[in-house]
Amino acid sequence: MTQSVLNDNEVAFYRNEGYYLHKKPLFSPARMAELTEIFEDQLAQKGSKLSDELDTPHFRDERLLSFLMSDEVLDLVEPIVGPNIGLWSSHFICKDPHVGRATPWHEDSAYWEGRLSSYDKIVTVWLAIDRSNRENGCMRVIPGTHRGGFSEYEDIDTGRNLFPTQIKGQIDESKAVYFELEPGECSLHDSRIIHGAEPNTSPYRRCGYTMRYFSTEARVYPERNPGFKIWLARGKDVAGSPFVNV
């Protein structure tokens, strides 16, 4: 496999629009099969949780660290956040056929407010485990909205939505870009961009693995992240965050 590195034009597009679609295999077929097997293990052990609630699975299964700390991913992330990279979190987000909940319009940064010192260099790699398209509720973003990051929110019904709140006010959905991906392909998005997904009413499952990274120039406040674990993925700790592997 050739390592995935963004060129200058691709980085410029990401910085301007707040996202980039990397329509190439991120891992080898064998590694992708291994990751899929870990996901199926997590799904089988979820108990009463819904399939879209498998957050921070690497806390429970450290096999995932070999993917999260891999050169394939970090070489993709480094042109965006720089050489000093912290692993912030990961999440298997699986929308079951017919009943998969909507992901309301939101900014990731709004849910993390106060937990880090800055949010301008946090990137999510969204890796498709299943085919992800408009039919089964693929992710969608509003380009260029990553210059904000802390909109006003209102409460919504969690029976039909993944999160308990959504951005208040009208979102111009005509501007939305839909992230249609084949298994093994991925997207990248800024933590501040407005994004969401429609419910999965199709007969096809839609699962992705989100891998989130930040520049270690930002400090993670331990007192505001009780029980939360972060890893130094590459480079050095600049701001003095409580990495478990330093």
Reading the chain (246 residues) residue by residue, the pLDDT tens digits are 444 589 999 999 999 999 999 999 999 999 999 999 999 999 999 887 877 778 999 999 999 999 999 999 999 999 999 999 999 999 999 999 999 999 999 999 999 999 999 999 999 999 999 999 999 999 999 999 999 999 999 999 988 898 999 999 999 999 999 999 999 999 999 999 999 999 999 999 999 999 999 999 999 999 999 999 999 999 999 999 999 998
Structural domains in the chain, CATH included, are 8-234 (2.60.120.620)
CA distance 246 to 243: 6
The letter for the amino acid at 44 is A
Report the distance separating Cα 233 and Cα 243, nearest Å: 10
Whole-angstrom distance, CA of residue 4 vs CA of residue 25: 9
